Each structure stands twice: as structure tokens, then as C-alpha cells.
Amino acid sequence: MFLINDALGFSASLSHPKSNISAPYLMKINSLKRSVDVESFEITIDEPSLKNLKQLSNFFDFKDVAIWSDLPHQQCQFNIHRRPFHDRRLELMAYGEFNIREGIFDFQSNSWRTNGMSDETYLKEEANLRFTRSGLPVGIIPYFHLFVNQGEVALPPLYVELSDTKEEGNALSLEGSYSFYVDEWQEGILSISKCKPIA
């Protein structure tokens, strides 16, 4: 028969009907050092270290970006194409629409043609894109760069950066085509069209 010593932080209940802990083992557990006063160590990470910490996959630092925050609120349609470098043939990967308010993209209903894990939630929840005063979308979007056939294992998206290349369209207009680098054999094209004012 063992007494449960309440002064110890580690105590095993002998009253539980299923307990069949061996006596020597119980004595060992009950003799373990326990804490009375837990000490709290503050966290003080210096600024240079903070700057280099890992971020979310869609993180983008807009601190030095001049966002076109008073751009009129609009709803636009978009397509995303894949363009291999070797033949420059366009393949439609996704389409849908987005709203833009204060220069911030807010993707709405959309659809990927790549199958696999792609669905509309990725752009809706993880696109981190702004429109700048220089007339370019800047930021990070999730991008499914491969078509997945039935039976193949699906992969999560890449997170690609849009920065500074407008291929078509008037400067300082949302509508147009914007290319972005994906990997060594392909780039992507975000095409924006049919923008109309919204509240």
C-alpha cells in the first residue's frame, strides 16, 4: 500500500480501477523532483534576428511598396496561363474574378484546371497581392504549376512572386497581362480584364 504524497508534483492515483503500476516504478515516479515555483524567462529577440526569421509562405513585405490605395473599387476577371520558355505556348491554368479595394486584391470565385489539390480556397485565402502606383500587381500568390492526372499524387502549390513585368495593356490600368517567373522551364501570365466599378 502506498501513500500518495501530496507535497510532490508527480503523483499517480492509486484509486483508478485500471491502475496496475508496479510498486517500485510508482516509488520512482513519486520520488521525482517536482517544481514548486516555475520560473518565467522573458523573450528578448534582437531586431536583426527578427528580420531574418522564417515567415508564412505567402508573406511579402509591402513596407517599401507604394500601394495605389485610392484606386477606385473594381471587380475584374482574370486568367492565369502557363507559358513554357521553349515554345511559349499558353496553357490555361486558372480563371475567375476578384475585387480590388484600397489596392488590395480579394479573390472571389475561381477555378483551377490543374486538378489535384487545387481549389478556389488557395487564391481566396492565401493570395497576398497589391496594386501599386506604378501600375503593377505586387506580392505573392499560390500557383499550381502542374496538371495532375487521375491516380497521381497531388502536390501543394508553389508560392510565386509577382513584381514588375507588364506585357500588355495600358500603363496605370489594372487591365492587362503580367508575367511572373515560376521555375527554369516556365513562367506564368496573370491576365486581368473586364473590370467594372463596385461599391
Partner 1 sequence: MISRRLFLKTTGASLALAGIPISGHTRDLPNGNIVVIILEGGMDGLAAVPPLGDPDLERHRKALMATNPISLNPFFGLHPALGGYAGMLANNEATIIHATNFPYTRRSHFEGQNVIESGNLTPFADRSGWIGRALDLAQMPGRALSIDMPLIIRGNLNNDNYYPASLVGSSTASPALMRLLSRHHQGFTATAFEKLSEKYAYEEKAAARDPVSLAKYAGRQLRNPQGPSAAVLRVNDFDTHANQGSDKGQHSRQLSELDDIFLGLKSGLKDEWKNTIILTLTEFGRTVKINGTVGTDHGFASAGLLAGGMLKKGQILTEWPGLANKYLFEKRDLQSTIDYRSVCAAAIEKAYGLDHNLIADKVFYTPALPRLTDKLFL
* CA atoms of 165 and 76, how far apart (whole Å): 19
Least separation, in Å, of the C-beta of 172 and partner 1?
33
| Identity of the residue, 150 or 171, whose beta carbon is nearer to partner 1 in the bound complex | 150
Encoded amino acid at 124, one letter: K
Binding residues (CB under 8 A) for partner 1: these are 4, 6, 9-13, 15-16, 18-21, 25, 28-29, 32-46, 49-50, 52-58, 115-117, 119, 121, 125-126, 148-156
Least separation, in Å, of the C-beta of 1 and partner 1?
17
Least separation, in Å, of the C-beta of 89 and partner 1?
21
* CA atoms of 80 and 93, how far apart (whole Å): 6
Q: Around Cβ 191, how many Cβ atoms within 10 Å?
A: 21
Least separation, in Å, of the C-beta of 197 and partner 1?
29
3-state secondary structure of 124: helix
* CA atoms of 159 and 188, how far apart (whole Å): 12
* CA atoms of 87 and 47, how far apart (whole Å): 47
CA 98 → CA 49, 149, 172, distances in Å?
36, 28, 18
| Identity of the residue, 91 or 126, whose beta carbon is nearer to partner 1 in the bound complex | 126
Task: Identify the burial level of 129 via C-beta atoms within 10 angstroms of its C-beta, where 0-12 means exposed, 13-18 middle and 19 or more buried.
Answer: buried
| Identity of the residue, 142 or 176, whose beta carbon is nearer to partner 1 in the bound complex | 142
Least separation, in Å, of the C-beta of 170 and partner 1?
35
| Identity of the residue, 10 or 181, whose beta carbon is nearer to partner 1 in the bound complex | 10
| Identity of the residue, 53 or 199, whose beta carbon is nearer to partner 1 in the bound complex | 53
